[in-house]
Amino acid sequence: MDKAAASASGVGNGDRQNRMPPPAPSQSGTSDRPWWEARPFVAAMILLSAVPLLYPAIPPLVDLLGHMGRYRVQLDLDTSPWLQQYYDYRWAPIGNLGVELLIIPMSKLFGLELAVKLIVLAIPPMTVAGFLWVAREVHGRLPPTVLFALPFAFSHPFMFGFVNYALSIALAFLAFGLWLRLARLGRLKLRAILFVPISFIVFFAHTFGWGMLGLMAFSAEAVRQHDRGIGWVRSGFKAAAHAVVMALPALIVLSWRDDVKGPLLHNWFDPQLKLEAIVSVLRDRWLVLDAAALFVVMAVIVYPLANRRLSLSRNLAFSALVLLAMFLLLPAMLFASAYADMRLAPYIFAVALLGIRFRGEMHLKTARTLAILGLAFLMLRTAGTTISLAFAANDHSAKLEALDHVPMGARVASLAGRGCGIQWPLQRNVHLGAMVIARRHGFSNDQWVIEGTNLLTLRYREPGIFSADPSQIVRPNGCRSRRWWIDRALAELPREHFDYVWLIDPPPFDPQLVDGMHLVWRGPDSVLYQVRP
């Protein structure tokens, strides 16, 4: 293959020389693939990623319950006299509409709660499929080390319930696989045409996914151009010229930014927050297990430095470096979206893992060892995630029995307890109060309202600071910030503006502060009081 042919195929000289050769055909004419590359195994890995979410009736992701309250307002505001008292919802073309758009047809078919489950259930398999496609396009086959990347389908941002973001990341990796494939086939004009609408699809799912897709596409194209014998500066300009077909959504960002209230950037270059984001990439419930998983991931990433048989694809290594640079530059809050840098951190690790491969011919013994270790790692993480989500789902089901005692349209102040300082287990109950909206068309004080960023706004503002998030979070008396003490929250709660008070995992409090309230229901670490006139 001459340089022109290599260029047309989309495989640069540097990456082409190190590209893992495809499986050799056997005497029967079929490819002699190792077991981790067989199509049934690949399909099983994609399906395996759905297992942790099969049991929970409602995926117990931190912010997802809050989103479900918003979906109820979105779907039923026009027909619910109760919701009309408390909320307003106005559509706008913003880069944060992934599940909001999908929930419209899905809820008509399945109802709100099942529709949410099905949509969220599809995100990890889509993410895993994207990971595998990218690795296949870059290496020509699947290296065994890709198995270590698959648990990042359940990374911290997904477990936190950033479902629009997680959906956009899944779409971004699938689109990146297509970007690489069309370059390999020399279909650059077709790629330019297709990625105009694709960029809008990913953008409307979530802006950050669109940005990540652009970064990965740019970095991959820069490596491809450089491998054609072009200097890095010219390669950068040429890559930008190819990636610019995805820039049109930027016009929406510029107009949308004018509507965002408050600072556009916040907590820039905070080393403590950066370190927390790195340490938390696989955060779930058990610190020891999550930290051990991160240690394994980091060991696998540096292993090619110690084993001459392994190397990193320059394509994905450069993509990982570009994502790392963006992670370091991003503030903690961007366009009023919190954890902007944290959301990116897990996928730096995932891309780096996807980039590991053999320098030349695959050393079968080493490959088998890595495949077995990778599969064991994946199965352990999947089992741990499944158990963790099952625990959380059972806890939610038990606590949600309180809503059987809440009438339609009731105003409920939920106070969800958290410990002092940073707690490693994700606090999955802080937005449980939003199910008052989802199931009872009532008012909950847990909704986050950011003008210009969210489509939901408040009409019912009489409770003052207890109208919205984070008023539902309380901490033990004596914590550093007195603002969040449970005794203070109970003392200052404007009872005249609520019908019920729902204590969820409450820390110890002065029982005199609930005098005059009627105990309606008590469950596991949960108490429901009716506020008497």
Query: Within this chain, do residues 416 and 448 fall inside the same structural domain, yes or no?
Result: yes
Identify the CA nearest to 271 among candidates 348, 341, 344.
341
Identify the CA nearest to 171 among candidates 136, 133, 144.
133
124 cis-preceded (ω within 30 degrees of 0): no
Residue 242 token pair: 């190819």
Which of 337, 359, 389 is the last residue in one of the domains? 389
pLDDT at 22: 55
Question: What is the share, in percent, of the chain residues with pLDDT greater than 70?
Answer: 90
Residue 255 token pair: 């107009």
Residues (pLDDT < 50) of the chain are: 1-14, 16-18, 24-30
Query: Within this chain, do residues 307 and 168 fall inside the same structural domain, yes or no?
Result: yes
Residue with tokens 């449980």: 432
36 within a domain of the structure (yes/no): no
226 within a domain of the structure (yes/no): yes
Count of C-beta atoms within a 10 Å radius of residue 359: 15
- What is d(CA 487, CA 198) in angstroms, rounded to the nearest whole number? 51
Query: Within this chain, do residues 365 and 463 fall inside the same structural domain, yes or no?
Result: no
35 within a domain of the structure (yes/no): no
Query: Within this chain, do residues 142 and 203 fall inside the same structural domain, yes or no?
Result: yes
72 within a domain of the structure (yes/no): no
DSSP, residue by residue, 342-359? HHHHHHHHHHHHHTEEES
Which of 389, 414, 449 is the last residue in one of the domains? 389
- Which residue type occupies 305? L
Residue with tokens 């039923």: 76
pTM for the model stands at: 0.90
Query: Within this chain, do residues 418 and 384 fall inside the same structural domain, yes or no?
Result: no
Q: Rounded to 5 degrees, what are φ and ψ at 232?
A: -65, -35
| 119-133 pLDDT tens trace | 999 999 999 999 999
321 within a domain of the structure (yes/no): yes
pLDDT at 467: 92
467 within a domain of the structure (yes/no): yes
Query: Within this chain, do residues 436 and 527 fall inside the same structural domain, yes or no?
Result: yes
Which of 326, 360, 389 is the last residue in one of the domains? 389
Query: Within this chain, do residues 456 and 377 fall inside the same structural domain, yes or no?
Result: no
Count of C-beta atoms within a 10 Å radius of residue 16: 14
| 416-443 pLDDT tens trace | 998 887 789 999 999 999 999 999 999 9
Burial of 8 (0-12, 13-18, 19+ CB in 10 A): middle
DSSP, residue by residue, 245-276? GG-THHHHHHHHHTT--S-SEESTT-HHHHHH
- What is d(CA 305, CA 29) in angstroms, rounded to the nearest whole number? 37
319 within a domain of the structure (yes/no): yes
- What is d(CA 76, CA 85) in angstroms, rounded to the nearest whole number? 13
pLDDT at 7: 41
85 within a domain of the structure (yes/no): no
Residue with tokens 């980039």: 355
Query: Within this chain, do residues 340 and 426 fall inside the same structural domain, yes or no?
Result: no
Radius of gyration for the alpha carbons in the chain, expressed in angstroms and rounded: 25
Give the domain extent around 518: 406-531
Identify the CA nearest to 201 among candidates 342, 97, 326, 339.
97
Q: How many domains does the chain have?
A: 2
Which residues does residue 310 pair with via DSSP β-bridges, in sequence order?
358
Q: Please provide the distance, in angstroms rounded to a whole number, between the alpha carbons at the two ends of the chain.
A: 84
Query: Within this chain, do residues 332 and 464 fall inside the same structural domain, yes or no?
Result: no
Q: Cβ distance 249 to 210 under 8 Å? A: yes
Identify the CA nearest to 253 among candidates 208, 316, 288, 190.
208
Burial of 271 (0-12, 13-18, 19+ CB in 10 A): exposed
Packing angle of the helix pair 112-139, 98-110 (nearest 10 deg): 130
Residue 472 token pair: 């539902």
Query: Within this chain, do residues 370 and 487 fall inside the same structural domain, yes or no?
Result: no
pLDDT at 29: 38
Residue with tokens 């903690």: 332
- What is d(CA 431, CA 446) in angstroms, rounded to the nearest whole number? 6
User: Hey, is 458 helix, strand or coil?
Assistant: strand
pLDDT at 453: 66
Query: Within this chain, do residues 152 and 297 fall inside the same structural domain, yes or no?
Result: yes
Q: What share of the chain is helix, strand, coil (3-state, %, to 5)?
A: 60, 10, 30
Query: Within this chain, do residues 266 and 296 fall inside the same structural domain, yes or no?
Result: yes
Helices (H), 453-528: 486-492
Q: Which parts of 167-223 are beta strand (E)?
A: none
Q: Cβ distance 468 to 363 under 8 Å? A: no
